[in-house]
Amino acid sequence: MTAQSSRAANDLSAPNDLEAWWLPFTANRSFKSRPRMIARAKDMHYYTPEGRAVIDGAAGLWCCNAGHNRDEITAAIQKQAAELDYSPAFQFGHAAGFATAARIAQLAPGDLDHVFFCNSGSEAVDTALKIALAYWNVQGQGGRTRLIGRERGYHGVGFGGISVGGIVKNRQFFGSLLAGVDHLPHTYNRAEQAFSRGEPEWGAHLADDLERIVALHDASTIAAVIVEPMAGSTGVLPPPKGYLQRLRQICDKYGILLIFDEVISGFGRLGTAFAAERYGVIPDMITFAKGVNSGTVPMGGVIVRKGIHDAFMKGPENAIELFHGYTYSGHPLACAAALATQDIYRDEKLFERAKELEPVWADAVHSLKGLPNVLDIRSIGLVGAIDLASRPDAVGARAFEAMDRGFHDHDVMMRITGDTIALSPPLIVSEDQIGEIVDKVGKVIRAVA
């Protein structure tokens, strides 16, 4: 690379060389022919390099729950970077890590009171699965190795996560994955649930399929069941009324651990700190990431019930209890950002605000019913999904065009999966901004008819 080309590549004022970055979960050739570039962000908006404001209808990637570039979070990160840039979490600790764990544990229901940190939702899921397997080993039941996920589930992109996950494109290219995994059926049935607000009435009985799986494999071989309380990345599938409660009952019946993947639903998205609180169900572990520090610094983790944690605290005191962890577990900057974010959630009552806005949000999103090619709309908390009819022989093309046109022509950012538009604005969204987002999405839907 010449000195001139090196300078061009380092010029952040405008897109120069788009070749080197292989973007994740992106149609790279299409993107690079018509880039959707973001230069900065503040509160409810992203800004393009040209200065055009784009309202954020997706909280970044389900994560910027407190909005963008909050002064309190920025100041906390800067202060921490100036004091302690990095501290190893293997055999050493720092105050912000313990304070962050305590704050998160206080939000969790029941006796979920120990936190194991990692750096993303994918790592959180793999960590939870490993804790489940290790737990049964230290309990003298090492034969419990089977993991049960759910069709259409998304649990990140680690080998454990895609094994228990149930989205075909995330699985099909990567071989046989983990052995000994089975899947519950997904909970969506358009004929029974179309245009439902909140939890659909139909579908609680689908949890009973766990009884069939237990009968097939025997409970003595099953370590854990993992589900998203609300399946997010697959297109926003709220749990049927009574479904999660029934899963808990069956897991208790057979001594199976229940893991809630709350990477999306955690930190106020459904109007409570965690979806477990909304549904009155205490799982054995909760995975989190994204909203823990409003997406500012990579961070994830697993909240574990006391009995599971304590089962490991045996043997010599100088012995490592769990041979697992990451270089950046409990990173000081991530913890500082998390503490500042949790202060914002508390002081601005953002979880309570999301609950209060839920009916306003639902009315707005469901007002799109009747637009061209709209097959279904689902809403829960501050999340919504609009299913669009697929074009003949071009599944996903309509929603992709909607996302692209939304950004370039209508100044709105949205998420898509297949031919579903998913919306999940920051929890600071106002009623007027809810109207603006939905109005712009409506214009986009008409434009791609």
| Same domain? 306 vs 404 | no
Q: Enter the tokens of residue 18.
A: 């788009």
Could you give the C-alpha distances from 308 to 67, 144, 188, 341, in angstroms and in order?
35, 15, 32, 28
Domain termination site, one of 347, 373, 401: 347
What's the pLDDT at 2?
44
Domain assignment present for 15? no
Domain that holds residue 395: 36-66+349-447
Domain assignment present for 9? no
| Same domain? 425 vs 384 | yes
| Same domain? 206 vs 235 | yes
Q: Is residue 290 left, alpha or beta, with left meaning phi > 0 and alpha meaning psi from -120 to 50?
A: left
Domain assignment present for 16? no
| Same domain? 354 vs 335 | no
What's the pLDDT at 446?
98
Contact between 95 and 279 under an 8 Å Cβ cutoff? The reply is no
Domain termination site, one of 327, 347, 367: 347
What's the pLDDT at 6?
45
| Same domain? 96 vs 60 | no
Domain termination site, one of 347, 380, 398: 347
Please state, rounded to an integer, the average pLDDT across all residues of the chain.
96
Dist. CA 30–CA 9, nearest whole Å: 21
Q: How many CA atoms lie within 13 A of 75 on its CB side?
A: 4
Our count of domains for the chain comes to 2
pLDDT tens figures, 5-54: 444 455 665 556 899 999 999 999 999 999 999 999 999 999 999 999 99
pLDDT tens figures, 246-299: 999 999 999 999 999 999 999 999 999 999 999 999 999 999 999 999 999 999
What's the pLDDT at 3?
44
The beta strands (E) that lie in 79-210 are given as 112-118, 146-150, 181-184
| Same domain? 61 vs 78 | no
Contact between 366 and 195 under an 8 Å Cβ cutoff? The reply is yes
Domain assignment present for 357? yes
Could you give the C-alpha distances from 228 to 167, 233, 244, 331, 370, in angstroms and in order?
13, 10, 10, 26, 30
| Ranges of the chain whose pLDDT falls below 70 | 1-16
What amino acid occupies position 96? A
Overall pTM > 0.85 = yes
What's the pLDDT at 15?
56
| Same domain? 356 vs 243 | no
How do strand 412-413 and strand 53-56 relate by DSSP bridges? Answer: parallel
